[in-house]
Structure 1
Amino acid sequence: MWPIYVFTAELLVVTLFIITDIFLPMRRISEVRVIIVGAGASGIAAATSLVEHGIDNIMILEAENRTGGRINTVPFGNGVVELGCQWVHGEEGNAVFSMASQYGLLMDSVINYDIEKMVFIGSSGNIVNRKTTEELYGILREISNSSKTDLVNYTGSLGEYFSHKYKQKLEGHPLSNSSLARAFLDWVHKGSNIEDAADSWYETSGHGQVEYQVCKGKQTWAWKSGYSTVLDLLKKRIPDPSNELPVESKTNFKAEVNKIRWNNLSGENKNKVAVECSDGSVHVADHVILTLSLGVLKKRGDFMFQPALPAQKLNAIKGLCIGNVDKILLKYPYRWWPDNFTVFSVLKTNETAACIGEKCWVHDIHVFEVVDNQPHVLSAWLSGSAARHMEQLPEEQLMQETIEFIREFMGKAFNVTVPSPEELLRSSWSSNPHFHGSYSFRCMETERLNVSAAQLAEPVINNNGISVLLFAGEATHSSYYSTVHGAIESGWREAKRLTEFYKMEMPCCSGAWCCQDWCLPLQGWDAVCGRLEPTWSEAWYGAPLSA
């Protein structure tokens, strides 16, 4: 039971509870074995794995009013679009592909960055010569393909590497000093910033690129019914809805976490963690799995935890980087662009032409792409400061400036009258306080501070040697960072960490498994001594456990 104290001072009655040496106002208190902060891919992966393996006394605290996190499939036009994660990247070793492909949930995306499907438009609205396009594009692809080997011991930025190699490749070439060659390098720079979520590839670590592991196979698998389908796969709603794991009912929405007290709790709360939410509620658990984005940890990590996180953890949060990538989706009454192209880019071939005032942001759009299953929709991709500026624009201004840009370049290039869009939708990952960015990358600061994803993933241990704070999310994955499959694997990793912890803390006796008093109550166990659920042991250890 929680110790409750009532103090009366004339007209004021204050109800308080003791959780540390500090008195805190109590609104609601609940107690579970595991709290998971965040209902994104990693949070849902952790929750479903724990439930499957017998630990179902859990709670998910989600600040948004939906599950998915940076997976955000929303209705638009005649179907759905993705405001966040777009494609399944690769096949071999990709947990998402493994789950989805067996049920036929994926399809070939119309986007594959085949040069034959791409159009480059110059600053004057002319389509750039295709032979020249293919030649410059080929040179840049060669540099990209050789980078994994070249960057192993490289100490500079990705931008320094690419710029130097590009200059070398173009020595003696007729286009070596041309504005078109520089415009192509600028285009690849923007593409790199989309891929890494960086403001500039001069802040992206060259060596850090080697850490990322590409899953072999097609890199742009699209979902037939939206990326949120992966959440149904994790919950076992697919293939049979009757087998859905009870995760949704354990989720508290609009539960924004303000404070996490993780050490030196007193009395019956010894070795526990208290999580306080903005609505005044307090939730207590033996362990907390944090799946917060790196952006939130950077913004709030210094004051969210009491006591402060260990120095190594704070250093990892500081050294790993996260940036912003956004989309603008435009739904037209009909398809006015050529059927045989899927990607459209405007190159800054006129270096003397300056954009006017705040409208410069639109010139930093990397590409306009067609959208799978949406024949009348175009999607614009942009990152960095341009994306942050775009997020703050009034919708009417955003619509007008985007329309003007498209008409000025694409309309002229294809000699068509571009209609006004019927609908517009945009993402806002940077300005959303529950994300503060899109996904993580390895920056030059990562190298300077010599930090790693493994340090971010390391559990925080209390004074009694118990791992009370566990960390998951794409930024904690050493090789699949920035991806959904990396996020899911990290959730599974932390769930496994807890199941193995309870396996070690529950020694066998007389052919059965006994729970230590402080471990109770654990769902799936007899109150005193009981056998381990077969599904738990078979899933993690290959066979039922025995004495």
Structure 2
Amino acid sequence: MCLPCSVTSQDYFFKEDGKQVSKTVVDQVCSHFSKLTDKAFDNELKRKHRKLSLGAYLDDAFDEFPLAGTEDGQQVFEWCKRTECTDKACSSLYEVSASQISYYTALEGGFFNTWGPGGYRAILDVLLKDLPSGTIQCNAPVKSIRWDLVKKGHCEDQRYPVQVVCENGQSFEADHVIVTVSLGVLKDKASTMFEPPLPPTKLSAMENLDFGIVDKIFLFFEKRFWPDDCAGVQVLWKEGPEDKDVYESLSEEEAWKKTWFKKITGFDTVARHPTALCGWITGREALYMEKLQDSEIRDICVRLLRSFTGWSVPEVSKTLISRWGSDSHVRGSYTFIPDGVDGVKAHKALASPLPPKDESRGRKHLQVLFAGEATHVNFYTTTHGAYLTGVREAERLISCYAD
């Protein structure tokens, strides 16, 4: 969300002509934008807005705001929508459901947090420290999950209903398997990964939910060139990708590829790295960027910084660019609910174990279970959602044996 606290007075907003937008305008537009998104999250949308995409709702509601009639107001508003795309991991807010996001639950606490020097690795260190050595098998991607083997009689000596086969030839037999791969991987491989095939309801849930991409572009410099009070350089466009007319026109014949860099929201300072900036980009533009060479991405980013700010921007000493969409083990970043989709129904269908309870007579119960952020109705998109669904499935198994 484009919360007022997420845009500080130290953020510099520049237009294409190099002029800086006043902090007053930025604060007013961002604050109003936050109020509009709050209405969607709090399930307070007007009836006429409930069937609209998030982008269409925001456009209609923002038109009533006084600054909507100004160039600066419109450009900051488009930037807010672009920034909201990073929260949703979508190509555009015109593809996201306005009403369904009310099921998402935000936790209390600051909008930003950091794990310190350890990064997200710190979480894994805590979780892994109590596991016996050799518990985790690395470099062994799963090729297929064969289930219902006892009933099907694949082998006379088959004792376990599930067999996990890895690409390196290893196989593991089990009573239960918890599948925690991302929705992106399921979309990519579910049709061939499971034998027998998954039920139509689960395949439909995978198809209906969407799995977006958020990438970061880290630019490292030998020394800091931005003012001491600057926490980020945000770029505003006359015709930004989240302007409705621009979005619709660029969607024709993939014209958006020529201006993919316009999806970059800006360049923020980086904690504990005083000479680094981080650019954010999402959706189809992010996936397109992933195919480019680091040097091309770097040069475009430097050109943007120079043209918008007019500052003397030195050459980049090092780049670090994420490519989540191209990673075959993830295929994206996190889940969002497209316009027209019943998110609750899809999340629950994705989370349901196999075989279904009403079809498990004579078959081993809870053979294949599913966890991951995409299976949580309220905490999808989040790390804690992924963690809690793992706990949920573990408790499901514990309850099964406790009964």
Q: 1:218 to 1:450 in 2, by over 3 A?
A: closer
Distance 1:350 1:129 in 2: 19
Q: Deviations over 1:266-324 (max 9, x none)?
A: 43325521112222222211111100100111111112111111111111111111110
Q: Percent identity?
A: 31
Query: Could you tell me which residue of structure 1 aligns to residue 121 of structure 2?
Result: 228
Distance 1:486 1:131 in 2: 36
C-alpha displacement at 1:142, in angstroms?
Answer: 2.3
Pick one of 283, 287, 290 that aligns with 1:388: 287
Distance 1:261 1:152 in 2: 48
Pick one of 108, 113, 123 that aligns with 2:6: 113
Task: List runs of 5+ in structure 1 lacking aligned partners.
Answer: 1-88, 90-110, 238-243, 505-547
Distance 1:126 1:159 in 2: 27
Query: Could you tell me which residue of structure 2 aligns to residue 201 of structure 1?
Result: 93
1:455 pairs with 2:349:
yes
1:245 pairs with 2:137:
no
Query: Could you tell me which residue of structure 1 aligns to residue 192 of structure 2?
Result: 303
Helix, strand or coil at the partner of 1:176: helix
Q: 1:125 to 1:256 in 2, by over 3 A?
A: same
Contact residue 206 and residue 346 of structure 2 kept, 8 A = no
Q: Deviations over 1:483-525 (max 9, x none)?
A: 1111111111111111222222xxxxxxxxxxxxxxxxxxxxx
Distance 2:103 2:346 in 1: 10
Instruction: Spell out structure 1 runs of 4+ moving beyond 6 A.
Output: none
1:424 pairs with 2:298:
no
Q: Deviations over 1:415-467 (max 9, x none)?
A: x31111111011011111111110001112523x8733122111011661511
Count residues with an aligned counterpart: 377
Contact residue 140 and residue 166 of structure 2 kept, 8 A = yes
C-alpha displacement at 1:350, in angstroms?
Answer: 6.3
1:497 pairs with 2:396:
yes
Contact residue 113 and residue 343 of structure 1 kept, 8 A = no
More moved, 286-295 vs 339-348 = 339-348
Distance 1:492 1:374 in 2: 35
C-alpha displacement at 1:341, in angstroms?
Answer: 2.3
Q: Deviations over 1:65-120 (max 9, x none)?
A: xxxxxxxxxxxxxxxxxxxxxxxx9xxxxxxxxxxxxxxxxxxxxx9524312211
Distance 2:144 2:335 in 1: 24
C-alpha displacement at 1:396, in angstroms?
Answer: 1.8
Distance 1:441 1:357 in 2: 21
Please say which structure displays the higher CA radius of gyration: 1
Helix, strand or coil at the partner of 1:446: coil
Pick one of 201, 206, 226 that aligns with 1:312: 201
Structure (1/2) with the larger helix percentage: 2
Query: Could you tell me which residue of structure 2 aligns to residue 183 of structure 1?
Result: 75
C-alpha displacement at 1:357, in angstroms?
Answer: 9.1
Structure (1/2) with the larger strand percentage: 1
Distance 2:374 2:256 in 1: 36
> After superposition, where does 1:53-72 map in structure 2 within 5 Å?
none
1:139 pairs with 2:32:
yes
1:261 pairs with 2:156:
no
Contact residue 269 and residue 276 of structure 2 kept, 8 A = yes
Task: List runs of 5+ in structure 2 lacking aligned partners.
Answer: 241-245
TM-score (norm 2): 0.87
Letter of the aligned partner of 2:195 in structure 1?
A: Q
Q: 1:479 to 1:287 in 2, by over 3 A?
A: same
Letter of the aligned partner of 2:81 in structure 1?
A: H
Letter of the aligned partner of 1:369 in structure 2?
A: D
Contact residue 176 and residue 366 of structure 2 kept, 8 A = yes
Contact residue 321 and residue 440 of structure 1 kept, 8 A = yes
Contact residue 160 and residue 173 of structure 2 kept, 8 A = no
Contact residue 16 and residue 237 of structure 2 kept, 8 A = yes
Distance 1:130 1:212 in 2: 31
Distance 1:161 1:395 in 2: 37
Q: 1:129 to 1:156 in 2, by over 3 A?
A: same
More moved, 127-136 vs 202-211 = 127-136
Pick one of 157, 166, 170 that aligns with 2:53: 157
Q: Deviations over 1:307-366 (max 9, x none)?
A: 111111111111111110000001111111122121321101368x9x999662222101
TM-score (norm 1): 0.65
> After superposition, where does 1:532-543 map in structure 2 within 5 Å?
none
Letter of the aligned partner of 1:428 in structure 2?
A: R
Distance 1:208 1:469 in 2: 28
Distance 2:237 2:64 in 1: 22
